[in-house]
Amino acid sequence: MPFTRLIVRAMLALAMLCPLPALARPVLLISIDGLRPADVLLARQRGLTLPNLTAFLANGSYAQGVTGVLPTLTYPSHTTLITGVSPARHGIVANTTFDPMNINDGGWYWYAEDDKAQTLWDAAFLARMTTGNVHWPVSVGARHITWNLPQIWRTGHPDDRKLVRALATPGLIVELEGQRREGYADGKDETLPADKLRAGFAQSLIRHHQPGFMTVYLTALDHQQHLTGPGSNEAHKTLEAIDAMVGEIIAIERQFHPDAVIAVVSDHGFASVDTAINLFRPFIDAGLVTIDAAGKISGWEAMPWATGGSFAIVLARPDDAALRAKVGALLARLAADPGAKIAQVISEPAIVAAGGNPRAAFYVNLKIGAVAAPFLSSGLPLVLPSNGYKGMHGYFPAAPEMRSTFLIAGPGIAKGRDLGEIDMRAIAPTLARAMGATLPGAEKPPLPVLQQAQDK
């Protein structure tokens, strides 16, 4: 067992011997994947009707923008939102696992055991609260989720429903399906109808179990923005529908927990794209990636790991100075070529400082408008069409387009407080504090959202 996980378990055991904190309030955490902060802050100017989300601006505290993590992808970001630490610490460094030979068949970081940090579910458990989850990333097998509907899929085949049912809290899906008289959403379905199903199941879970800490993840806005771009009419309609779902979930939560603190977050912003960059082309040409007669990868010395708007570069032999120099020289030449659309290349010291992937010897940030292509075929050129994508994220977190959202309201939360720009790592300790718990490993202190927070 990893040493860090042993430490977490020891902390959990020790904390069970400690008295319950004096302040303990229920917390509901809702994530809207890809929600740009200005879509809420400037809703009226953008022609959006979002009564439930914009209510937070007067009734609670909010950020002008949230600076995320490297890379600004869903799974690394959601794990930071639930732990308060960077990807280098929690270990979820991308959406998909590093799989250069495609042995894992496109597998993602679905499993909670890969998260090496303490989570808010753990913190709630230590505060003697029950917990619930609907579809939050990296939640399969999470030890301290009392009622868990985790996110996982494999193929999009109907058998995926059986997989989710098998990995959820035993009997929970059957129970909720019976109460709702409808089936739960497919694991791979990210459309608005699937969000409506999950939002409905979240309401039923709250109604019948009233977890003290509840996480809900909604995906359709991200899905739509990938298809039609951020700010498109279709994306606006999707967000307005999600706003209604959020209002319904909050209403049920308030019915059973009038004292609940409600937070709405997102994992990243969005940028319009029209081009894909196939970094495998120059790596194949340089002999760093080898291809067999069938056109599949048969070996590698240095491998691009696509992460949305960026690439992590992993070396097969990290201690090989000659290999490192060869890859560095190749990336420098590419960065000097305007057609490669590379905005920045950083190496290990800067990656470490950013809390990014510790396996990456280099990290390549593309210019806004270009997306990192995964390996598709050995015969494709460096520059490609964006393959149907009109929106993307995954760029370095400094890009203003990648700013995400934080809204919070409830008893004891300051009203109308503008927090300015905040760090994503500050959100989890803020929510832990609201529920009367702690995240001692968090990399940032809690935000000043409580009334008279400086005296608490």
Write down the pTM of the prediction: 0.94
- Is residue 314 within 8 A of residue 359, CB to CB? The reply is yes
Which burial class, exposed, middle or buried, applies to 258 when counting CB atoms under 10 A from its CB (0-12, 13-18, 19+)?
Answer: exposed
Q: What is the 3-state secondary structure (H, E, C) of 136-156?
A: CCCCECCCCCCEEECCCCCCC
Which CA distances in Å does 90 have to 8, 21, 207, 347? 12, 26, 32, 20
Assess if residue 395 is contained within a domain. Answer: no
Residues of the chain with pLDDT > 90: what percent?
92
Please tell me whether residues 251 and 311 are part of one structural domain.
Answer: no
CB atoms within 10 A of CB 129: 23
Please tell me whether residues 333 and 449 are part of one structural domain.
Answer: no
Residue 3 is predicted with a pLDDT of 44
Of 370, 389, 408, at which residue does a domain stop?
Answer: 389
Tell me which amino acid residue 211 is: P
Residue 15 is predicted with a pLDDT of 41
Distance of CA 4 to the CA centre of its chain: 22
Those residues whose C-beta lies under 8 Å from the C-beta of residue 409, and which sit 6 or more positions away, are 55, 56, 59, 60, 61, 261, 262, 415
Please tell me whether residues 381 and 408 are part of one structural domain.
Answer: no
CA distance 410 to 406: 14
Q: Which residues pair with 28 in a beta bridge?
A: 214, 262
Residue spans of the chain under pLDDT 70? 1-23, 453-456
Tell me which amino acid residue 171 is: G
Which CA distances in Å does 103 have to 69, 247, 257? 27, 42, 46
Assess if residue 292 is contained within a domain. Answer: yes
CB atoms within 10 A of CB 421: 12
> What CATH number does residue 107 fall under?
3.40.720.10
CB atoms within 10 A of CB 272: 17
Closest CA to 133 of 122, 120, 149: 149
Of 366, 389, 412, at which residue does a domain stop?
Answer: 389
Assess if residue 394 is contained within a domain. Answer: no
- Is residue 320 within 8 A of residue 308, CB to CB? The reply is no
Assess if residue 38 is contained within a domain. Answer: yes
Residue-range definition of the domain harbouring residue 299: 275-389
pLDDT digits (tens, 9 = 90+) for 70-116: 999 999 999 999 999 999 999 999 999 999 999 999 999 999 999 99
User: C-alpha angle 128/130/131, rounded to 5°?
Assistant: 130
Please tell me whether residues 108 and 72 are part of one structural domain.
Answer: yes
Which burial class, exposed, middle or buried, applies to 253 when counting CB atoms under 10 A from its CB (0-12, 13-18, 19+)?
Answer: buried
Please tell me whether residues 142 and 168 are part of one structural domain.
Answer: yes
Tell me which amino acid residue 96 is: T
Polymer length of the chain? 456
Which burial class, exposed, middle or buried, applies to 125 when counting CB atoms under 10 A from its CB (0-12, 13-18, 19+)?
Answer: buried
Please tell me whether residues 355 and 375 are part of one structural domain.
Answer: yes
Residue 4 is predicted with a pLDDT of 46
Residue 127 is predicted with a pLDDT of 94
Whose tokens are 């939102």? That residue is: 81
DSSP H or E segment with residue 174: helix 172-180
Please tell me whether residues 239 and 289 are part of one structural domain.
Answer: no
CA distance 252 to 275: 43
Please tell me whether residues 32 and 181 are part of one structural domain.
Answer: yes
> What CATH number does residue 351 fall under?
3.30.1360
Of 389, 413, 442, at which residue does a domain stop?
Answer: 389
How many distinct structural domains can be found in the chain? 2
Please tell me whether residues 103 and 251 are part of one structural domain.
Answer: yes
Q: What is the 3-state secondary structure (H, E, C) of 328-385?
A: HHHHHHHHCCHHHCEEEEEEHHHHHHCCCCCCEEEEEEECCCEEECCCCCCCCCCEEE
Please tell me whether residues 165 and 280 are part of one structural domain.
Answer: no
- Is residue 154 within 8 A of residue 161, CB to CB? The reply is no
Residue 18 is predicted with a pLDDT of 39
Assess if residue 204 is contained within a domain. Answer: yes
Those residues whose C-beta lies under 8 Å from the C-beta of residue 180, and which sit 6 or more positions away, are 200, 201, 204
Please tell me whether residues 34 and 154 are part of one structural domain.
Answer: yes
Helix axes 159-167, 172-180, angle to 10 degrees: 120
Helix axes 233-256, 51-59, angle to 10 degrees: 60
CA distance 175 to 301: 50
Please tell me whether residues 255 and 281 are part of one structural domain.
Answer: no
- Is residue 35 within 8 A of residue 145, CB to CB? The reply is no
